[in-house]
């Protein structure tokens, strides 16, 4: 298969490495971002708000970052449709308060919401391993993993996690990648199952240099925009290889979605004047409920696995991508580069402390050892 002929490391090193997006790609990328901003309400005008979900009893979903914004809406709506929802969050007390509030607002309605809270801090890879071990130890199925939690620390200087990685890269890409792989045993038990990654149209202006994942070499100047867009592109590239390498029989699909441009706490780090302007353009910007629709669609629509299957059998180089209007969309040209996707795959496994053959072992039901071992509690 063409995909497996992407060449070994030496072959790839011989080819002249691309160092950045070309001007044309960059301009086209921004054109796509501006287009989504200006026309998202029109292109998504066929959608209901909230999205109507089928009854979901028996469906178990983990939603990361569900105490705020898009994730909160996803968790609440899945739970209201009858799913068992696990809020995987840093602020566990806030999550408990939200559940009480949702239950109170529904008082009298039966059955009560089936929502629980588990602690997960994506800035700490040991926390990711602890979460996955705790979940897998239940030996139950997981049907949907929604990697929603993310950061865009606009205007902030470069920060590193205690694991030593640039924070956008860790929260938006590395930690969700580790979580997805470590939860595979539960996703296999829940098969047919789905991994949904809440990505962004901003990946169109991202570029991943696998020799400089942390943007510390000085080849490129770090800005939060560089950190964010690179992390979102890295997530697509990793997801593309994951989707390709999971055998069809395993019944797990990996899908990226764009929520649109959404009014949430993601802009909390913007200067006050920009936040004020943000409030003045509500016509263009989705609210969090509107922003949750593409994730909910990707997680629950019965046609999605069929679409994923078609792309898989066509050997399409990119994982399925669902747009803010719940239609399939094409990821950026850079996302289509299988050779660099393979490099991102290998580099990511190295960074998250997993052996290169982890996926194959996990699919076979074998154990894998992660370098990030949580301290005993
Ligand atoms: N809003 C947009 O316009 C837009 C556009 C495209 C894509 N997205 C993507 O949509 C996703 C959701 O963002 P949002 O707009 O809803 O922003 P948000 O309101 O800021 O929500 C982000 C969520 O992620 C959680 N989170 C952040 N760092 C975390 C960590 N280290 N460990 C665990 N959870 C963490 C936050 O929890 P804490 O409260 O504990 O920080 C929060 O619950 C993100 O992946 C974002 O990149 C958003």
Q: Which atom of ligand 1 is nearest to the CA of 202?
A: 6
Buried b (16+ CB within 10 A) or exposed e, 83-112: bbbbbbbbbeebbbebbeebeeeeeeeeee
Give ∠ CA 77-181-346 in degrees, rounded to 5.
130
Q: Could you tell which of 64, 65, 73, 146 is best to mutate to test the pocket of ligand 1, judged by most ligand atoms within 8 Å of the CB?
A: 65
Ligand 1 centroid to 365 CA: how many Å?
32
CB-ligand 1 contact for 312 (6 Å cutoff): no
Stretch among 2-6, 225-229, 280-284 having the lowest mean pLDDT: 2-6
- Per-residue pLDDT, 125: 98
End-to-end CA distance of the chain: 46
Q: Is 341 exposed, middle or buried (0-12, 13-18, 19+ CB in 10 A)?
A: buried
Q: Determine the average pLDDT of the residues in 2-16.
A: 45
pLDDT of 3 reads: 32
Tell me what pLDDT residue 14 has.
47
What pLDDT was estimated at residue 110?
79
Mean pLDDT of the region 217-245: 97
C-alpha of residue 72 to centroid of ligand 1, in Å: 10
Mean pLDDT of the chain: 93
Contact between 324 and 36 (Cβ < 8 Å): yes
Please report the pLDDT score of residue 19 as a whole number: 87
Q: Give burial (CB, 10 Å; 0-12/13-18/19+) of 236.
A: buried
Q: What is the pLDDT of residues 190-203, one digit of tens each?
A: 999 999 999 999 99
Compute the distance from residue 152 Cα to the ligand 1 centre, in Å. Answer: 8
pLDDT of residue 4: 31
For residue 124, what is the DSSP state? Answer: -
What pLDDT, on the 0 to 100 scale, is given for residue 277?
67
- Provide the CATH topology of domain 19-363: Rossmann fold (3.40.50)
Q: Which atom of ligand 1 is nearest to the CA of 70?
A: 16
pLDDT in tens, 89-111: 999 999 999 999 999 998 878 78
Regarding the beta carbon of 349 and ligand 1, being less than 6 Å apart is answered no
Q: What is the pLDDT of residues 63-72, one digit of tens each?
A: 999 999 999 9
Q: Which pTM does this prediction carry?
A: 0.94
Higher-confidence residue: 108 or 238? 238
Alpha helices in the chain (DSSP H): 9-14, 23-43, 69-80, 92-105, 125-136, 167-169, 175-182, 184-189, 224-245, 272-279, 288-291, 293-300, 304-313, 338-351, 358-363
pLDDT band at 362 (very low <50, low <70, confident <90, very high): very high
pLDDT of amino acid 357:
98
| Better pLDDT: 249 or 274 | 249
For the ranges 12-21, 24-33, 121-130, which has the lowest average pLDDT?
A: 12-21
Task: Answer yes or no: is pLDDT of 232 > 80.
Answer: yes
- Mutation test of ligand 1: which of 36, 69, 298 has the most ligand atoms closer than 8 Å to its C-beta? 69
Active site residues: 228
Q: What is the pLDDT of residue 162?
A: 97
Task: Report CA(26)–ligand 1 centroid distance (Å).
Answer: 25
pLDDT, mean of residues 308-314: 93
Determine if ligand 1 sits within 6 Å of the CB of residue 265.
Answer: yes
pLDDT value, residue 282: 73
Query: 148 CB under 6 A from ligand 1?
Result: yes
Split at pLDDT 50, 70, 90, the class of 116 is very high
pLDDT of 377 over the 80 cut: no
Structure confidence at residue 267 (pLDDT): 66
119-153 b/e (C-beta count within 10 Å ≥ 16 → b): ebbbbbbbbbbbbbeebbeeeebbbbbbbbbbbbb
Domain ranges across the chain: 19-363
State yes or no: pLDDT of 293 exceeds 90: yes
CB of 65 shorter than 6 A to ligand 1: yes
pLDDT computed for residue 265 by the predictor: 79
Q: Give the pLDDT of residue 15.
A: 53
Residues 367-375: what's their mean pLDDT?
A: 94
Query: Quick check: 356 and 346 in contact, CB under 8 A?
Result: yes
Which has the minimum average pLDDT: 99-113, 146-160, 289-303, 306-320? 99-113
Task: Tell me: pLDDT of 9 over 50.
Answer: no
128 Cβ closer than 6 Å to some ligand 1 atom: no
CA 287–ligand 1 middle distance (angstroms): 14
pLDDT score recorded for residue 269: 66
Q: Is the CB of 159 under 6 A from ligand 1?
A: no
Residue 1 has pLDDT above 60, yes or no: no
């Amino acid at each position: 298969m063409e995909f497996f002929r992407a060449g070994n490391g030496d072959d790839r090193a011989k080819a002249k490495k691309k160092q950045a997006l070309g001007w044309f790609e960059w301009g086209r990328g921004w054109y796509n971002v501006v287009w989504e901003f200006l026309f998202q309400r029109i292109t998504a005008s066929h959608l209901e708000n909230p999205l109507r979900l089928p009854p979901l009893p028996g469906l178990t979903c983990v939603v990361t970052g569900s105490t705020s914004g898009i994730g909160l809406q996803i968790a609440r709506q899945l739970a209201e449709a009858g799913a068992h929802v696990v809020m995987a969050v840093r602020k566990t007390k806030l999550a408990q308060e939200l559940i009480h509030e949702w239950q109170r607002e529904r008082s009298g309605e039966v059955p009560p919401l089936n929502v629980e809270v588990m602690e997960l801090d994506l800035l700490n890879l040991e926390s990711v391993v602890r979460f996955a071990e705790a979940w897998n130890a239940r030996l139950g199925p997981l049907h949907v993993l929604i990697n929603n939690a993310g950061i865009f620390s606009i205007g902030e200087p470069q920060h590193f996690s205690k694991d030593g990685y640039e924070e956008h890269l860790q929260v938006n890409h590395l930690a969700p990648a580790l979580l997805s792989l470590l939860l595979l045993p539960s996703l296999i038990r829940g098969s047919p199952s789905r991994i949904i990654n809440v990505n962004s149209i901003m990946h169109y202006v991202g570029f991943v240099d696998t020799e400089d994942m942390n943007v510390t070499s000085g080849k490129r100047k770090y800005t939060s925009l560089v950190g964010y867009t690179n992390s979102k592109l890295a997530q697509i590239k990793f997801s593309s290889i994951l989707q390709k390498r999971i055998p069809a029989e395993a019944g797990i699909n990996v899908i990226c979605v764009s929520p649109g441009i959404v009014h949430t706490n993601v802009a909390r780090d913007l200067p006050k004047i920009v936040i004020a302007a943000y409030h003045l353009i509500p016509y263009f910007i989705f609210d969090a409920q509107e922003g949750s629709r593409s994730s909910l669609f990707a997680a629950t629509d019965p046609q999605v696995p069929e679409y994923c299957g078609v792309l898989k059998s066509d050997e399409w180089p990119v994982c399925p991508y669902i747009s803010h209007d719940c239609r399939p969309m094409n990821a950026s040209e850079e996302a289509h580069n299988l050779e660099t996707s393979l490099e991102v795959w290998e580099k990511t496994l190295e960074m998250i402390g997993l052996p290169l053959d982890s996926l194959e072992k996990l699919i076979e039901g074998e154990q894998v050892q992660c370098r990030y071992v949580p301290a005993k509690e």
